[in-house]
């Protein structure tokens, strides 16, 4: 029981950090999104490698590389996952710094439903009637939002698709969260380092050319990336999956509140109607998943 409580604390902590991230990125809105992303990749790689060395886990990291290379499907799968998470990071950073925080919250609200859809298409999983209803309701909510915007909410859809496909690939690759992040950033860091050198050569880099606060915030993007991920990975192992399912809505709810009440983003009647339908869809979906999990546990004990 104590282990489960500790797990909840770790997972809630991770989603609270993710929920507050828009405020962090807003403090860097004078830096181009591409440079913020580049710094995030470079510093996340440096900090995760340092953490692996400090924890004396570097031998296992080399073993992970060897095992991945033996199974080329997993190796290139993780490479694709690293591209997807990089894409997700860029969309998110760009959206926050261009006043689309409400859309980012929508993306992470519909993400679980997109993940379920991937399971249906690629793993031939079956949806219960409640889950089908939830998915259709979510589609209606997104369509209403598209009509009110006069355009498809590409930011929300891009975030949901990139993160869902990333999670889908990662499910089949068993890796420690910290070492996994080290390998993922290792795949992308040569491109990031090359882009940084190009920025410095053109004298377009903000890093080391602005103020100390900006430099520190860019450096700390590495910790801001790695810390919640490791906290989540540590906590989710201690709690039932349906509990993690409830907790995951903390982050998009915080993003929505921050977007509307801190940064005065638009949230009128049409947005409220759309989000209400999506919230109803998520309630139906989550309750149905909880019911399934309770039945599985009850059958396992009987």
Reported as a pLDDT band with limits 50, 70 and 90, residue 302 is low
Reported as a pLDDT band with limits 50, 70 and 90, residue 207 is very high
Q: What is the spatial distance between Cα 126 and Cα 166, in angstroms, rounded to a whole number?
A: 21
Segment 3-58, tens digit of pLDDT: 778 888 998 999 999 999 999 999 999 999 999 999 999 999 999 999 899 888 88
The answer to whether 189 and 42 are in contact (CB under 8 A) is yes
pLDDT at 241 over 80: no
Mean pLDDT of 179-192: 93
DSSP 8-state class, residue 262: I
Three-class SS state of 268: coil
Mean pLDDT of 46-74: 90
Q: How many residues does the chain have?
A: 302
Residue among 71, 75, 86, 44 nearest 177 (CA): 44
pLDDT at 176 over 90: no
Q: What is the spatial distance between Cα 177 and Cα 167, in angstroms, rounded to a whole number?
A: 12
pLDDT of residue 114: 86
Reported as a pLDDT band with limits 50, 70 and 90, residue 291 is confident
Reported as a pLDDT band with limits 50, 70 and 90, residue 301 is low
Report if pTM > 0.85: yes
């Amino acid at each position: 029981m104590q282990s489960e409580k500790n797990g909840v604390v770790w997972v809630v902590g991770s989603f609270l950090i993710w929920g507050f991230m828009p405020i962090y990125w807003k403090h860097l809105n004078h830096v181009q999104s591409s440079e913020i992303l580049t710094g995030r990749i470079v510093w996340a790689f440096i900090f995760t490698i340092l953490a692996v060395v400090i924890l004396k886990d570097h031998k296992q990291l080399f073993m992970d590389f060897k095992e991945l290379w033996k199974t080329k499907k997993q190796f290139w799968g993780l490479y694709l996952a690293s591209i997807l998470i990089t894409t997700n990071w860029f969309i998110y950073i760009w959206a926050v710094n261009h006043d689309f925080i409400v859309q980012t919250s929508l993306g992470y609200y519909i993400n679980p439903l997109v993940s379920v859809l991937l399971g249906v298409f690629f793993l031939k999983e079956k949806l219960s009637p409640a889950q089908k209803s939830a998915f259709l309701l979510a589609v209606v909510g997104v369509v209403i939002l598209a009509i009110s915007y006069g355009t498809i909410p590409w930011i929300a859809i891009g975030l949901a698709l990139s993160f869902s496909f990333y999670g889908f690939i990662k499910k089949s690759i068993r890796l420690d969260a910290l070492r996994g992040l080290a390998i993922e950033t290792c795949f992308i860091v040569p491109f990031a380092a090359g882009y940084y050198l190009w920025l410095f050569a053109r004298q377009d880099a903000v890093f080391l050319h602005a103020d100390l606060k900006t430099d520190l915030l860019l450096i700390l993007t590495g910790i801001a990336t790695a810390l919640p991920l490791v906290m989540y990975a540590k906590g989710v192992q201690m709690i039932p999956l349906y509990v993690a399912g409830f907790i995951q809505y903390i982050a998009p709810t915080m993003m929505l509140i921050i977007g509307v009440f801190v940064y005065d983003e638009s949230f009128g009647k049409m947005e409220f109607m759309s989000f209400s339908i999506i919230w109803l869809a998520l309630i139906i979906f989550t309750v149905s998943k909880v019911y399934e999990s309770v039945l599985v546990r009850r059958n396992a004990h009987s």
